[in-house]
Amino acid sequence: MRTPYGRLSPESKEVARTIYETKQDNPSISYESIVKQHPEFTFKTRERARQLYQAHKVHLSSVKGRETIKERKKSLEQRLS
């Protein structure tokens, strides 16, 4: 089940960002290891860590997509003027 990023609490978004950044720094690390490294996480399951990672990844791609659209719109407006 996909977790919508917009419905996450600010704390969960911070946890998702932490998981994502940890996974980017060390792609071979397991979700279990990430959860064990962070005792402040309120959940202890690998599945929840994976869901939060995916939610943050989708969020970043949608943000990048919006920025790309804005850049294209700007360049088109410049060419037309």
Q: Please report whether residue 1 resides in a domain.
A: no
- Residue 14, in any domain of the structure: yes
Please state the length of the chain. 81
Domain that holds residue 45: 8-80
Q: Is the pTM of this model over 0.75?
A: no
**Which backbone phi and psi does 41 adopt, to 5 degrees?**
-65, 135
1 pLDDT more than 60? no
2 part of a folded domain: no
- What total of structural domains would you count in the chain? 1
3 is a domain residue:
no
pLDDT digits (tens, 9 = 90+) for 32-81: 999 888 888 888 888 888 888 888 888 888 878 878 888 888 888 888 87
Q: Is the pLDDT of residue 22 over 90?
A: yes
How high is the pLDDT of residue 18? 92
DSSP 78: H
